[in-house]
Amino acid sequence: MTENNFSGFHKKKVSERQEILKKATQLSEEETALLSNGSLDLETANRMIENVIGLHSLPLGLATNFLINKKEFLVPMVIEEPSVVAAASFAAKLCRSTGGFTASASDPIMIGQIQLVEIPDLEKAIESLEKEKESIIEYATSVDPMVLVKYGGGLRDIEFRVIESERGSFLVIHLLVDVRDAMGANAVNTLAETLAPRFEKISGGKVRLRIISNLAVNRTASAKAIWTQKELESSTKGKFKGKEIVERILDAFAFADSDPFRAATHNKGIFNGIDSCVIATGNDWRAVEAGAHAFASMKGSYKSLTRYHKNENGDLVGEIELPLAVATIGGATATHPSAKIARKILGVTSAQELSCVIASLGLAQNFAALRALATEGIQKGHMRLHARNTAVMAGAKSEEIDLIAKKLADEGKVRVDRAKELLEELRGK
Ligand code: MEV
């Protein structure tokens, strides 16, 4: 697949886009048809959660232009907000001249927490537990309750933390578990429950909670990209000088990194990208969000998940790092038909590669928002795209939608009442 197959993709009809995608990614007829039908059937849904009463659909879009670690990616995004997919594709396009995104992911190590209270002597307990650590790891490897070892994962290490609380001091044990291509919640929780009685016996305390931590500090993904002054300048059709745009974006970053009020919105923009691909691939977006927001607060206040600086050429360098517990096997990634198609479209070979794509998408989304906010503002572009929604809300159908949307955007009045007036005029003709 090359970039060129997808030029002008946004101007095509949905059916034409599906055809291009089918050719580029070898989707079968059946898979392509599933794209139009929303794909999840009631029976599967009924097996996924409780008290099912129906299905809830959202648009599935495709971000283009993503060059990550020298490999081309098409990124499926499930989101209800206009302009997000366009912004990600635009940001990815603007950094292609410098090689696109460079991304990496740590080993997929999740933390399982075991809380032990009422330990008679904490120091002595930790000493005894340290002595038994290797034999506990050996035991965990031999029982392998969730078949991780077979696939190259398993319990890697055990850490001990004393926590002071309003109910006194207690011990928290961290199981560091390599979960390979799984999200890991089931594997980690099962292992924590399996090992807890041993820790209880050695420490002389009582086990309370045994559960995964979503603050996956040992399972992070990072991405980096460079946007040149030249690309930045032409992105505004010369309205702003490249050098000035770099300075403006650095000011925007400084704002987010020093003010939690701004950081919340800045990071929300990052999650416009991240969540949409996490959802498209059937992953747990609440886990990813909770982990990343906690990670953003680890320096004592809530901060930006991205960082920006100027390189020796005066070009803009953007970076992101965040915990990304995403899977390519298990859970909804295995049961949801669209999630399976999304994975095929992505062509990722592991959960680590998926997290590299998602980190790059988050960075792209953030860069796009900052570029717009720091120059002409976001409303102009956003309203142009929102105009289509407004036209639909006013009752416009098929060709009417684009005609009404264009008029609304040209007039700068993207409102349902105006859309209704325009629709009446159009139909009157
Ligand atoms: C809107 O969904 C996201 C932004 O508010 C992000 C930001 O302010 O950086 C545009």
Percent of the chain with pLDDT over 70: 99
Q: Could you report the per-residue pLDDT of 155-179, keeping only the tens digit for each?
A: 999 999 999 999 999 999 999 999 9
Q: Could you report the per-residue pLDDT of 241-263, keeping only the tens digit for each?
A: 999 999 999 999 999 999 999 99
Alpha-carbon distance of 307 to 251, in angstroms, equals 11
Cα–ligand 1 centroid distance for 385 (angstroms): 15
Q: In 3D, which of 170, 184, 274, 235 has the Cα closest to residue 375?
A: 235
Name the DSSP letter for residue 26. Answer: T
Q: Given a cut of 60, is residue 388 above it in pLDDT? A: yes
Among 275, 367, 373, 386, which is best to mutate for testing ligand 1, by the most ligand atoms less than 8 A from CB?
373
Inter-residue contact 206 to 117 (CB < 8 Å): yes
| Residue-averaged pLDDT of the chain | 95
Exposed e or buried b for every residue in 197-211, given b needs 16+ CB within 10 A? ebbeebbebebeebe
Question: Any alpha helices (H) in 49-118, and if so which ranges?
Answer: 84-94
The confidence score (pLDDT) of residue 4 equals 54
Residues with catalytic roles:
81, 268, 284, 382
Alpha-carbon distance of 274 to 271, in angstroms, equals 5
Domains and CATH numbers, the chain: 58-106+219-376 (3.90.770.10), 109-213 (3.30.70.420), 381-428 (1.10.8)
Question: Any alpha helices (H) in 297-378, and if so which ranges?
Answer: 331-335, 337-346, 351-374
Q: What is the pTM of this model?
A: 0.93
- The one-letter code for the residue type at 271 is F
**Ligand 1 surroundings by CB, under 6 angstroms:** 81, 265-266, 268-269, 272, 369, 373, 378
Among 84, 268, 271, which is best to mutate for testing ligand 1, by the most ligand atoms less than 8 A from CB?
268
Name the DSSP letter for residue 120. Answer: S
Q: Could you report the per-residue pLDDT of 317-339, keeping only the tens digit for each?
A: 999 999 999 999 998 998 899 99
